[in-house]
A and B are shown apart, each in its own frame.
Chain A
Amino acid sequence: MSTTGLVGVYQPGTTLLHRLPVGVKLGGLMIFSLAIVLVRSMPAAWAFLAVALVLALVARIRLVTLARAARTVLFLALFVGALQWWWYGRDKAIETFVDLLALSIGAVVVSATTPVNAMLDSFIRWITPLRPIGVDPERVALTIGLAIQALPGTVALAVETRDAARARGVRHPRAFLAPFVVRVVARAHETGDALHARGIGDD
């Protein structure tokens, strides 16, 4: 199973979106997300999805990457959509589903056109003025980068743990949750050791 999903993976290119500064892209994504949340109507939802798809086309993002993003968000979107259907009816459910899809494609457009290291450099630049009050920009930026990167690895651990429970014929949620939490904590320790060993965070 692919574990990249929403996090996307940088796809090198020279499109307009690749050349835009990181701040512009992240700011744009923030405005786009706010607009989706604040403007609540069916036509607007389809318009937002169209905008997201046009941006993906402009960035020449591979169809398979978009499909992965859609698949990753599908379960959540279906769940939320079902709840909306139950509470507010069909139209609201469809609107919410389309909104979530547009959001996920917008996130993929940014992550596929922006290397994580470029994001880290930008975060460091933005946070550096806070150094006098004790903020370590490198460390904060690395933490954000790690949080982004941890998601696919954690999904992979979840899948492995679920498969292991199935292989033993165990269906109780505890048989999944307990080993999953233990493995996530162990992986966090290993990653910490690996960062420590590479001297990252020493300076």
Chain B
Amino acid sequence: MPTISFDAAGLSVPVAGGARVVLEPTTVELTEQRVGIIGANGSGKSTLARMVNGLVAPSTGRVLVDGVDVARHGAAIRRRVGFCFTDPASQLVMPTCVEDVELSLRRHEKNAARRHDRALEVLDRYGLSEHADVSVHALSGGQKQLLALAGVLAVEPAVVVADEPTTLLDLANTRRVADLLFGLDQQLVLVTHDLDLARRCDRVLVVEDARVRYDGPAGAAVDDYLASVTT
């Protein structure tokens, strides 16, 4: 598994009259295959996840993926780290399903015919082949999220970061997306409010008030989070 290292990585943003701490300097090393991040809204968990892909740059410290500095080698990191957003509507940028997957493959396959064939293979792998030429706007929420994931997985990243990928989905689609994510061979960093999903992880970080308050096995971490919410 890849190693994701937070080396005193933190983020403060300037506000009127000072600075607001979004994430306290954090030092953790993630080597497990499935890492969960849970916590309240606005606690800093999405910031933590976004730092892995370079979507957010730390204002202090650094983040490394297999020893490569995310801030310095963004393009190389994004080839290794895929990112799945909460709302697939913002992630799907082409008119049809096959075209959106082709967009992901543009850097990897220059030949248009081969790129198209590879995109069809990817859609088939994730059960979307019958929607290949369907408008992305015509898909259900679950299908959109599966397509967004297919676009990420098409380029075979070593790490998949998913920021609340099931928050907008119904129960059946939550299960489909979760089963796909937990069936991946890649390392998974999953930000979620779904504690059942968090319990399926190998390790869970509880983020509270811009810092990692608890870091440990999934069961204990979820219990700790529940206790902190109910007290």
Chain A residues close to B by CB (< 8 Å)? 2-4, 7, 9-12, 115-118, 121, 138, 145-146, 148-149, 152-153, 156, 187, 190-191, 193-200, 202-203
Contacts and interface: CB of A to CB of B under 8 A. Distances in A.
A194 B90 CA distance: 7
Contact of A149 (B53, B85, B87, B93): B93
Give the contact-size bracket for chain B.
35 or more
Nearest to A187: B90
What secondary structure prevails in chain A residues at the interface with B?
Answer: helix
Interface string B92-120: 01111001001110110000100110000
Contact of A202 (B78, B85, B87): B78
A2 B116 CA distance: 26
A84 to B, nearest CB: 33
B132 to A, nearest CB: 8
Given A121-B112, A202-B74, A197 B53 contact: yes
Contact of A194 (B91, B96, B102, B155): B91
B107 A194 contact: no
Contacts of B112: 117-118, 121
28 contacts: A2-B137, A4-B137, A9-B134, A115-B99, A116-B94, A116-B95, A117-B94, A117-B102, A138-B106, A146-B93, A149-B94, A152-B135, A153-B137, A156-B137, A187-B90, A191-B91, A191-B93, A194-B90, A195-B93, A196-B78, A197-B82, A197-B85, A197-B91, A198-B103, A199-B75, A200-B103, A200-B104, A202-B107
Nearest to B78: A199
Nearest to A195: B93
